[in-house]
Structure 1
Amino acid sequence: MFRSNAIKITLFYLISISFILLNIYFVVKRDSLIINALPALLAVFLLVIFSFDKLIYLVVFFAPLSLPLSEVMPGLSFDMFLPTEPILFGLLILFLLKIIHERNFDRDILTHPVSLAIYINLIWILLTSLTSTMPVVSIKFLLARIWFVVCLYLLTAKIFKGGKKMEQYVWLYIIAFLVVIFYATYRHWGYGLWDKQAAHYVVSPFYNDHTSYGAAIAMYLPFAMLFAFSKQYSKKIRNAALVVLGILFMAFILSYSRAAWVSMIAALMVWGFIKLKIRFQPIFITAIIVIALVFSFQHQIVMHLERNSDESSSNLTEHFSSISNISSDASNLERLNRWGCAIRMFKEKPVFGFGPGTYMFQYAPFQLKKERTIISTNAGDRGNAHSEYLGPLSESGVLGLVTFLIILITVLYTGIHAYGRLKDPRLKGIVLAAIIGLVTYYVHGFLNNFLDTDKLSVPFWGFTAMIVAADIYSRREAKAVEEK
């Protein structure tokens, strides 16, 4: 203990002295931009030394407000989100140093089935990075995935262990998210709130487009409902949450994200299954049967969908019904084009794929003339596979998809069983909200993929960490009861 405090004090003085010397240097050089940034950098360094959890909270708070480096410094050959990703990278380095020095981390978290599923996926991403057609791109993808997992899952699960501090994690994102919502709504107001086209870009530069914005709202709506209606929270918190719920719901509608709307309907169905206490096994078997039927009758389904001519529009009813329009809706047709490219890429390299993160650089030659749309490009330079499932399939082969699905199934299985085992009504509510929030993204993942961004990685891995921490807590609780 004494040695640990001595190290912290020594580091504090070293950083303080370095800070003073750097200030003097940049004052002499008259570089005002760096001088202004130094206090923030010092604050981050101090947080690193004295409080890891505060640094994670900082990442969570800034995730909705983070900006791509390309917005700040255009023309660079690489991109990242500021200030979150540099902090996450620093945390990853410090975590590795801490593990090497102490040779110890929470075994319950490290050996949890969800953690094991994540390791398997990461190992396969590493292997396919080594066989990648673009190794540098794939290694960057792997590093980003590792710092998301380490900081937002492993370290966050450690913070949540014992069932504490989960609400803070959610509220920090929501509070910052409200700033983005007010900003987007104010801009949207200028074009007319029911202008569907404006919804695409009013969220810029904070979110890439309305789909990622809608996905984030869908993930946090279950928690807003929990905080607004659960009697486990004070009247003051419930009233504040009720206001937040109204704002989120308004933003959810104005996002015009059809994928988010569909994901919420699916999540409500899962909520009903859990509340009715239907076991996980029949739900899983039903899902497999439905998927098998879709594949078996895919031609008949496509023929039926081609009869739908409703275009995406500002009319909410028409916009929602245009979800199944694959005859004339450009957005839907381009999505089919990307999916077709992903499947053809998989067929060419079914085992190792083209390499993690490479889809956007490799899909152009796999476009078919008959599938291209008015928004397709010859260079294939407009984004990803629009699927959290077909993306890994094309980039990391069949095991890329399988190992990712194992994570999702393990998380759902763990969450449902933890919910049934828990006696604490507060934790039961949090676990249920986390499950429903994640289900919205699991469904949304059929139509888009955003796990390479901090915006969606913060809730995705954070909610997963909540489920794991609650599961560990429930097992200990059950064991204690047995021992009595």
Structure 2
Amino acid sequence: MKSLPTLAKPLLVSFTIIIILSGIAAIYFSNASILLIPVMCSIGLYCIFDYEFVYYVLIFTLPLSKEFPIIGNSNLSLPSEGLIIVLAFIYIISFIFQRKCDLDLLKDPMIIILLLLYFWAVFEYPFSIEKLKTIKYIIAKTLYYLVFLFLTFTIIRSKHDLQKFIYAYTAGLFIGVLYTIFLHAADGFSFENINYISSIIFVNHVFYATVIGIGIPLTWFLLKTTPKFSVKRSFYLKFLLILFLFALITSYTRGSWLALIVCIIFYILLNYKKVTLTISIGVIVITCFVGYLFNNDRYLDYASDYTTTIFHEGDIEGHLAATYSLKDVSGMERIYRWVAGANMVKEKPIMGSGPGTFYPEYKKFAIDRFRTYVSNNPEQSTTHNNFLLFLTEQGLVGFLLFTTLVIMVFIRGSKIYNECSDPDTKHLTAGFYLAFTSIIVCMMFSDFTESDKVGSFFLVSITILAKINQWNKENQLKSL
């Protein structure tokens, strides 16, 4: 249990006052239900004095949460985002009374860039074209940073905490994946219905495959830290790994298949210390390719034919054939939005349209030649590329900060991995590093940074790499 003794006195006094005021109010208003307030406060007190338990409950629920409408067009993912709000409040209370912050966190270059990205979004607020959407974005980011950055850095104190974290996350994922597989099996593992079946828990098949892509490296490297005499634990993790691999294959999600291949390649690069060279080559190749497409408007040559773009041709083979021939509607719809995003950048290259504003703005900049029959976009999704999303909404500064952050995590994460002296810590580092890698590959084709299922893990991966870096430095000082 994580006790907060310095909070005991002020919380006890506050709780006593609440009980007295609730009793007076219940008598005055002749409403006994008011007495439920102290009950709710007592639950809140328990959460405060044992917030680590609540934190791991949150990690367990991340893969299982569902979105529910609340006010207007806003949604809340429950129970995860409800727990995020509770934990953010707890962190603020503990900080006010204890005034403790691990300064090593604020010294890490990855965290500095992450915080600069947050403050740039705040700075953008006055310039946003949709200030309500931007303020919602900032509030959500604030809560996520408090929990998945600052609180996570506080709670994770050893490799055993990392193992506990992975067990909590993969246990929740196991329940969601097993349930989805049972439903999918009843449907004969059909290609055409996987999106609907997976949406019952995972929003859609892309989210389903992406969270599985996070779970696979975590499970694999947790297995490598499990002692050989722990037969039951090893069997459970092996079963989990096979289940996740099967689910990934039957998710029929090309981006996540690619992400798994990239993770395998990056693990080899990690061990041969070739990540920096590979990232440098990758940045040059992508820059040249984008420059080639937009030089003399060459991208117009790849416009889709509205009448021939298709979702699939009855099965996965037809879907892959449509992808190869540039007739797949999901691929062509991505190009439609990427072109619209590129035109938005021309309009506001430095500041962008403002955080959270791509959807209401992009159709003004779209080119009909790239339009598909799903371009009406009733689900209000955005660019299907997080790098372009930052460029359109937060301008060149936001894009450069986000891109710098990703490159830095890849390069520094590789260094952190190779500096680990403890084999178990090294395996766990690889697990979180490759989970981050999988997320980034999927982010090239989808939007995840604002979601509780994936965006949270984006922050967690960076935070844990920063924490392991702190451990490495402490071990190096001890060895002197």
* TM-score normalised to structure 2 length: 0.88
CA deviation profile, 1:55-94 (whole Å, cap 9, x unmatched): 2212212222222122xx6x84322112222332233334
The Cα of 1:321 is off from its aligned counterpart by 5.3
Return the alpha-carbon distance in structure 2 between the equivalents of residues 302 and 273 of structure 1. Answer: 36
- Matched to 1:268, the amino acid is I
Q: Please provide the CA RMSD for this pair.
A: 3.3
The Cα of 1:306 is off from its aligned counterpart by 8.5
The Cα of 1:197 is off from its aligned counterpart by 1.8
1:176-191 alignment, distance < 5 Å:
176-191=172-187
Partner of 1:270: 266
CA deviation profile, 1:334-385 (whole Å, cap 9, x unmatched): 11111111111111111111110111111121221111101112x8763111
The Cα of 1:310 is off from its aligned counterpart by 9.5
Report the secondary structure of 2:159's partner residue: coil
Identity across matched positions, percent: 21
1:39-118 alignment, distance < 5 Å:
45-70=44-69, 76-118=72-114
Say yes or no: does 1:6 pair with 2:4: no
Partner of 1:369: 368
Return the alpha-carbon distance in structure 1 between the equivalents of residues 337 and 387 of structure 2. Answer: 12
Partner of 2:144: 148
1:349-368 alignment, distance < 5 Å:
349-368=348-367
Report the secondary structure of 2:199's partner residue: coil
Return the alpha-carbon distance in structure 2 between the equivalents of residues 251 and 22 of structure 1. Answer: 54
Report the secondary structure of 2:368's partner residue: coil
The Cα of 1:422 is off from its aligned counterpart by 0.9
The Cα of 1:49 is off from its aligned counterpart by 2.0
- Matched to 1:273, the amino acid is L
Return the alpha-carbon distance in structure 1 between the equivalents of residues 366 and 349 of structure 2. Answer: 18
Partner of 2:331: 332
1:83-482 alignment, distance < 5 Å:
83-193=79-189, 195-232=190-227, 234-278=230-274, 280-295=275-290, 297-298=292-293, 312=312, 315-320=315-320, 322-326=322-326, 328-377=327-376, 382-482=380-480
Return the alpha-carbon distance in structure 2 between the equivalents of residues 311 and 475 of structure 1. Answer: 51
- Matched to 1:142, the amino acid is I
Return the alpha-carbon distance in structure 2 between the equivalents of residues 95 and 439 of structure 1. Answer: 29
CA deviation profile, 1:234-263 (whole Å, cap 9, x unmatched): 332211100111111111112111111111
Q: Is the 8 A contact 1:117 1:403 kept in 2?
A: yes
CA deviation profile, 1:371-430 (whole Å, cap 9, x unmatched): 1101112x8763111111111111110111111112212222222111111111111001
Return the alpha-carbon distance in structure 1 between the equivalents of residues 424 and 23 of structure 2. Answer: 47
Return the alpha-carbon distance in structure 2 between the equivalents of residues 2 and 297 of structure 1. Answer: 62
- Matched to 1:98, the amino acid is S
The Cα of 1:202 is off from its aligned counterpart by 0.8
Report the secondary structure of 2:273's partner residue: coil
Alpha carbons of 1:348 and 1:7: their partners in 2 closer, same or farther (altered >3 Å)? same
CA deviation profile, 1:206-259 (whole Å, cap 9, x unmatched): 222110111110011011112334454633221110011111111111211111
Q: Is the 8 A contact 1:393 1:401 kept in 2?
A: yes
Alpha carbons of 1:2 and 1:169: their partners in 2 closer, same or farther (altered >3 Å)? closer
Moved more, 241-250 or 289-298: 289-298
The Cα of 1:286 is off from its aligned counterpart by 1.6
Q: Is the 8 A contact 2:63 2:453 kept in 1?
A: yes
Return the alpha-carbon distance in structure 1 between the equivalents of residues 32 and 324 of structure 2. Answer: 60
* TM-score normalised to structure 1 length: 0.87
Alpha carbons of 1:477 and 1:380: their partners in 2 closer, same or farther (altered >3 Å)? same
Q: Is the 8 A contact 2:133 2:356 kept in 1?
A: yes
The Cα of 1:119 is off from its aligned counterpart by 1.0
Gap regions ≥5 residues in structure 1: none
Return the alpha-carbon distance in structure 2 between the equivalents of residues 257 and 38 of structure 1. Answer: 48
Return the alpha-carbon distance in structure 2 between the equivalents of residues 329 and 60 of structure 1. Answer: 36
CA deviation profile, 1:138-192 (whole Å, cap 9, x unmatched): 0110111121122012210221134341122122122122222122222223332
Alpha carbons of 1:239 and 1:190: their partners in 2 closer, same or farther (altered >3 Å)? closer
- Matched to 1:77, the amino acid is N
Report the secondary structure of 1:69's partner residue: strand
The Cα of 1:271 is off from its aligned counterpart by 1.0
Return the alpha-carbon distance in structure 2 between the equivalents of residues 231 and 88 of structure 1. Answer: 30
Gap regions ≥5 residues in structure 2: none
- Matched to 1:396, the amino acid is Q
Return the alpha-carbon distance in structure 1 between the equivalents of residues 38 and 278 of structure 2. Answer: 53
Return the alpha-carbon distance in structure 2 between the equivalents of residues 23 and 408 of structure 1. Answer: 54
Return the alpha-carbon distance in structure 2 between the equivalents of residues 262 and 317 of structure 1. Answer: 16
